[in-house]
Structure 1
Amino acid sequence: MTLIRAELGDDAIIVSTQRAAGDGGVRITAAIEESTLDRDIERALDDPGAGPGADTPAPSAAYDPRIAVVQEALGYHGAPRALTERLAQAVGAAEAEAPLDACTAALADAFAFAPLPARKSPRPFLMVGPPGAGKTITVAKLAARARLINRPVGVITADSVRAGAMAQLAAFTRILEVDLKRARGPESLRFLVEESIGLHDLVFIDSPGINPFSAQDMAFLKELIEAADVEPILVLAAGIDPMEGAEAGESFAQVGATRLLATRLDMARRLGGILAAADRGQLMFSEVTISPHVANGLVPLAPQALAKLILPRQDEDEDPTREASADVMPQSDRPPFDLTEAVR
């Protein structure tokens, strides 16, 4: 911030930060923020007619009901203010007339969506995240999805910390008839990953719960990631606090996480936490879990599905000409979309 202010002045603000490719540096975009209050004061002093009795000019921009709907919904979900403002601007610029379609376009512009491959991948996927996020059950779901379409799948657990972690995953892999391998550290993981090359179309790896605010935990996770050629996938519960989610997303992204897999959508009413995590960490949305059942409930996420989950449900027989303020149910009382219908 000192360097930025030395270059642009004391009114400079940071607009965004982005990890630079290759050298591990950070690209910072800064701008000069003009004070609206100062401009209003200057205008009033320069205009003798300005004052309590002066005519108030009409606002330059017309009211956009699409923006109002999206802003209200994002406010309910607890999305960060900066993200809400960016999405609102994108909604206003969208050509679509319906709020759902405009929100879909805004989300597609703000986020990347990259579901995990269901058939084959040259790199194993390492599920990472804080304790209790649902990494183990997610590994089981991913393995089950592969087995249901008859793909050779390998499962490795690197979780030697949580009591019963191996037994829990083994209970699922026995049913799936998948051999479960155990890595006892970074070097063991590297050996097992190299051993799996050519044997399996897909390899999924469970990892211990990592505290994103612990330097020791993050250092251990970085060793695991760097020991083998794996892609870390951040697993977060959908109901995480937005501020905690944002910081967790940024922390895991710094050690190489590229995608976000959100769990427990069936137990969350507000999605601001995963929106904040994906935004701060610049993570791609992949899948979401909408059921505790291993054989189903794992669904790829797309922009329209996310828009449906964010916006309040509108009854199909609702009169579109009715005033927005009339007969509006508080968002917390509105029936949510059927999750399976929404994400599909």
Structure 2
Amino acid sequence: MASIRRELGEDAIIVATSDAPGGGVQVRAASDQPMGGDVMEAPRERAERIHSEIVRQRGDDADGIDRIIRALGFHRVPDSAIEALARFCEMQEDGPAAHLLAQGMESRYRFAPIEGQPGEVLLFAGAPGSGKTATLARVAARAAAHGVPALLIATDCERAGAEARITELAEKLCLPHALADDPRDAEALVQAAGDQLVLIDAPAANPFDLDDLDMTAAFAAAAEAEIIAVIEAGTSPDDAFEAASLMASIGACRTLITKADCARRKGAMLAAGEAGLAYAHLSASPYIGAGLAPATPLRFARTLLDLQDLPEDAMLEGDEA
């Protein structure tokens, strides 16, 4: 408990414990403190203070940084990220805002697009409606375009329409598909897949429900699959940070951001990185054959700065504005 409170603060609690593989104990903990730390200063107050300091120090040379801070504040990016990115940009030579922000993001986050190699096993996990099934189909389409054979496996057999959805997508892509009612079925299908790229559509899971997380982890362990956390760009940053952290606790290392085309505020994009997940891809289209782009610092920076009608006081505007 002392170790956890050193990491998460005095309000941290233990929510679950379990035996760890190979001995030891795994502990899941949570805290009600705001992410990134300073409980005495609200995010927008912190952003305003940093903004004022940089403008005062750099004067006319702060135009790019000014745009970056206003945009990040508008998106409700976590205050820890705003401060770190602003401080990084402050130390760079003045330049286009997108390039400054991209350099800052490259220094703070990891970017690791999905390669889609033969024999790779990926499990896409996310909340209901997050777009994980469509995302899986997009990854399969990219693999097929590069001549990589893929097998689609559906595990969400209880949710209405889920089985029909994966079947329809597989048939449209002319790819084989299979159903797995439980982790043992998934394990058998993966073993029989040989050198195919295997893409598993995990059961829709509430990332804040430990039973759902355990089920996702069980499928991943049985199939020896890497968990890809699928997170909507329009999710509230606090929820995205906690969901990404909990996904990381069951082994997820990468995230894929979806629905960036229909989210006005996209603070969740950076909240997932603040939780330690590497970025794989960014989805910005409802169509299976388009809209899935490899995650790069410059692509993320341009997405966050692409606000033609951003008001001058965007950093300080209220939620009702």
Provide the TM-score with structure 1 as the length reference: 0.73
1:235 partner letter: V
1:307 aligned residue (282, 301, 306) = 301
2:263 aligned residue (265, 268, 278) = 268
Partner of 1:109: 107
- 1:115-148: CA deviation from partner (whole Å, max 9, x where unpaired): 1014x14331100011110111111111122222
Residues 283-292 or 145-154, more deviating: 145-154
CA displacement at 1:208 relative to structure 2 = 1.2
CA 4–223 in structure 1, closer or farther in 2 if over 3 Å, else same: closer
Greater Rg, structure 1 or structure 2?
1
CA displacement at 1:192 relative to structure 2 = 0.8
CA 141–65 in structure 1, closer or farther in 2 if over 3 Å, else same: same
CA 3–152 in structure 1, closer or farther in 2 if over 3 Å, else same: closer
d(CA) in 2 for partners of 1:332, 1:61 = 20
Residues 207-216 or 72-81, more deviating: 207-216
- 1:161-201: CA deviation from partner (whole Å, max 9, x where unpaired): 21111111111111222111111111111111111122x1x
SS of the residue 1:181 aligns to: strand
2:149 aligned residue (149, 152, 166) = 152
CA 81–154 in structure 1, closer or farther in 2 if over 3 Å, else same: same
Q: How does 1:189-338 map to 2 (within 5 A)?
A: 189-198=186-195, 200=196, 202-280=197-275, 282-312=276-306, 330=311
User: Does residue 1:133 correspond to 2:114, yes or no?
Assistant: no
CA displacement at 1:99 relative to structure 2 = 2.0
Query: Do the aligned residues in 1 keep the contact of 2:64 with 2:94 (CA within 8 Å)?
Result: no
d(CA) in 1 for partners of 2:119, 2:68 = 39
d(CA) in 2 for partners of 1:256, 1:331 = 41
CA displacement at 1:75 relative to structure 2 = 0.4
CA 156–102 in structure 1, closer or farther in 2 if over 3 Å, else same: same
CA displacement at 1:108 relative to structure 2 = 0.5
d(CA) in 2 for partners of 1:162, 1:153 = 24
CA displacement at 1:149 relative to structure 2 = 2.7
d(CA) in 2 for partners of 1:268, 1:245 = 14
d(CA) in 2 for partners of 1:66, 1:297 = 28
CA 141–4 in structure 1, closer or farther in 2 if over 3 Å, else same: closer
SS of the residue 2:114 aligns to: coil
Query: Do the aligned residues in 1 keep the contact of 2:256 with 2:282 (CA within 8 Å)?
Result: yes
Give the total of aligned pairs: 275
SS of the residue 2:280 aligns to: strand
Partner of 1:319: none
Query: Do the aligned residues in 2 keep the contact of 1:94 with 1:106 (CA within 8 Å)?
Result: no
Which of the pair has the greater relative contact order for Cα pairs under 8 Å at 6+ separation?
2
CA displacement at 1:98 relative to structure 2 = 2.4
1:95 aligned residue (93, 115, 121) = 93
Unaligned 5+ residue runs, structure 2? 13-21, 29-37, 41-54, 315-321
d(CA) in 2 for partners of 1:249, 1:304 = 22
- 1:228-256: CA deviation from partner (whole Å, max 9, x where unpaired): 21100011111001111111010111001
CA displacement at 1:4 relative to structure 2 = 9.3
CA displacement at 1:331 relative to structure 2 = 6.6
- 1:54-94: CA deviation from partner (whole Å, max 9, x where unpaired): xxxxx994443333221111000010111111111111122
SS of the residue 1:156 aligns to: strand
d(CA) in 2 for partners of 1:270, 1:254 = 26
Query: Do the aligned residues in 2 keep the contact of 1:113 with 1:302 (CA within 8 Å)?
Result: yes
SS of the residue 2:205 aligns to: coil
2:229 partner letter: L
CA 329–276 in structure 1, closer or farther in 2 if over 3 Å, else same: closer
Residues 136-145 or 108-117, more deviating: 136-145
Quote the sequence identity (%): 32
Query: Do the aligned residues in 1 keep the contact of 2:118 with 2:148 (CA within 8 Å)?
Result: no
Residues 247-256 or 90-99, more deviating: 90-99
CA 172–91 in structure 1, closer or farther in 2 if over 3 Å, else same: same
